[in-house]
Structure formats: C-alpha cells, structure tokens
C-alpha cells in the first residue's frame, strides 16, 4: 500500500498541522489553559493561512477530484472543483456553543476561599530566620560600611530615610529573600494548578471541539466534485441546477419549473 492509499484508507488526506496536534495534546494533558490554546491557535492560523493554500491540500485535491460534476454531470470540458459540503470550522461558533453548554451544566466554580487558605498555608510553612535589622525602626534594609565599621539604615518606610547609624544590629524573625522567592513560586504553582484543572474552562472545550472538527474537515470526507457553475450556485445561493436542462431553481423544489423534469433525473451532459 502506498502512503497516499494508506492515508486515504484512514481518512487522513490532509494531516492536521503539527501546531494543532501539539496544542490539542497539551490541552488534553491540562498543561495549558483554554485561553492559552486559543492564543496559540490564533498565531498558528495566521502562520498557516487558509487550508486551500497548503501544499498538502493541493496534493490531496488530486486524490478526491472526480472526472465529472456530482450535481450536473458536466465532465472533462468543465472546470471542476473539490467543494466541501460542510463549512470551514468556525472558532467563534465553537466558543458560543461551549459557553452555552457550560451554562447548562452543574459546575463547581473555583473555590477562591480554599485557594486563599492554601496560599496562607504555603506562607505559614516557611520558618522565618533570625535576621539583622535596624535597632531603631526594625527595618531589614541595613547596610554595613566597612570603612566606618558601622551599619546604616536605608529604610524609607515612613517617607523619610531612617539613616540610623549603629554598630550592633538588632535581631528579628523574618523571611529571607530566597524563602520569599520560593513561597512565590509555590503560590504560583498552586494557582496554575487550579486554573489548569478548572471544570468551567469553556475555552478549552471550544478549542478541543474546533481542532476535532478541523481534523474531520481536512480529511476531505465531506467533499464533492462540482463544476464551476454548480459550485457557484451552492456557494452563493440556495438554488440548484436542473439536471436535465440546467435551469437554476430553489433547492426546496422537487420539479424543475422550466422543463418540468423531477429532480434527480439523469443529466443530459457527461
């Protein structure tokens, strides 16, 4: 079996671009949020352009293009197109859908008070150390000056420099800069973990649905071969051409008003 034949048998005529595959995998693993995925998709779409300009599209088109128009039967003499019978997946439609679905579901909203408790717990878990401070204002922003062999307080917490000069610092229990950094890291991790796993991330649902629909769209399962005229009618109007005389009439009618042949009669061309 050739690769093309294999892909066809698997309904993978145009593989989903790697960018989308990666975003989908990260969403499924909950390592990015729906919002982050939507931003990544925005960038990828701009880079990739319309599917029908892709190389893979042009190659796949040759595989599915038939020798005659599937509506009117026009053959080789006509200009034939591969036309989707479904629309290009729309991001905004999926966003609307996901938001509406969310409204109908019983979802646990993010419990902010529980997060606050976790944040306090992280801070409280750090054991403050005995640190040097200013004996006058208890600030930690003190500086030892080698030349003078004294300390000076650089604190400006009251609006004016404390500027107290002393030889022996006082002690107070306080967190070190490293401790503060690691507390912030831990808090960030907790928050990130919460938003990555939130049940009400409707954007995540929307992006997964859009990528899924895109994969089906690119499989070209839902396409047909149309001549230029039929493609135009399908695209621009709600009319169909009569398969007997070619007269364009409303899709909802079953009989051609011009030649009175029922819809579905054998085409005269092709």
Give the DSSP letter string of 39-65: HHHHHHHHHH--GGGSHHHHHHHHHH-
CB 26 within 8 A of CB 37: yes
What are residue 171's DSSP bridge partners?
132
Q: Which stretch binds Zn ion (CB under 5 A): 21-29, 88-96, 206-214, 250-258?
A: 250-258
Instruction: Rank residues 69 and 203 by Cβ distance to Zn ion and give the closer one.
Output: 69
CB 230 within 8 A of CB 71: yes
Q: Which stretch binds Zn ion (CB under 5 A): 46-54, 56-64, 210-218, 223-231?
A: 223-231
Q: Which of 136, 172, 187, 224 binds Zn ion (CB under 5 A)?
A: 136
d(CA 23, CA 29): 10
155 touching Zn ion, by CB under 5 A: yes
Q: Which of 21, 77, 129, 258 binds Zn ion (CB under 5 A)?
A: 258
8 touching Zn ion, by CB under 5 A: no
166 touching Zn ion, by CB under 5 A: no
How remote is the C-alpha of 232 from its chain's centroid? 32
d(CA 88, CA 113): 43
d(CA 63, CA 121): 62
231 touching Zn ion, by CB under 5 A: no
69 touching Zn ion, by CB under 5 A: yes
- Footprint on this chain of Zn ion (rule: CB under 5 A): 69, 71-72, 74, 134, 136-137, 139, 153, 155, 162, 164, 227, 230, 242, 244-245, 247, 256, 258-259
């Amino acid at each position: 079996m050739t690769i093309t034949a294999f892909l066809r048998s698997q309904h993978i005529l145009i593989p989903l671009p790697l960018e989308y595959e990666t975003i989908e995998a990260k969403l499924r693993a909950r390592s990015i949020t729906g919002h982050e995925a939507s931003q990544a998709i925005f960038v990828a779409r701009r880079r990739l352009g319309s599917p029908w300009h892709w190389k893979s599209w042009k190659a796949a088109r040759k595989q599915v293009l038939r020798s005659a128009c599937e509506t009117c039967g026009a053959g080789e003499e006509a200009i034939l197109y591969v036309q989707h019978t479904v629309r290009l997946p729309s991001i905004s439609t999926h966003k609307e859908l996901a938001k509406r679905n969310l409204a109908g579901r019983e979802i646990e909203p993010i419990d902010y008070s529980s997060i606050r408790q976790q944040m306090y717990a992280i801070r409280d878990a750090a054991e403050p150390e005995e640190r040097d401070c200013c004996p006058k204002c208890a600030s930690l922003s003190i500086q030892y000056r080698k030349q003078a062999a004294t300390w000076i307080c650089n604190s400006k917490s009251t609006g004016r420099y404390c500027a107290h000069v002393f030889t022996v610092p006082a002690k107070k229990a306080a967190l070190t800069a490293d401790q503060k950094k690691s507390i912030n890291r831990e808090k960030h991790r907790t928050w990130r973990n919460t938003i990555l796993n939130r049940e009400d991330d409707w954007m995540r649902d929307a992006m997964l649905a859009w990528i899924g629909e895109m994969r089906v769209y690119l499989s070209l399962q839902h396409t047909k071969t149309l001549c230029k005229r039929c493609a135009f009618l399908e695209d621009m109007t709600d009319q169909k051409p009569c398969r007997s005389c070619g007269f364009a009439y409303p899709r909802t009618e079953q009989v051609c008003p011009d030649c009175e042949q029922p819809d579905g009669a054998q085409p005269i061309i092709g």
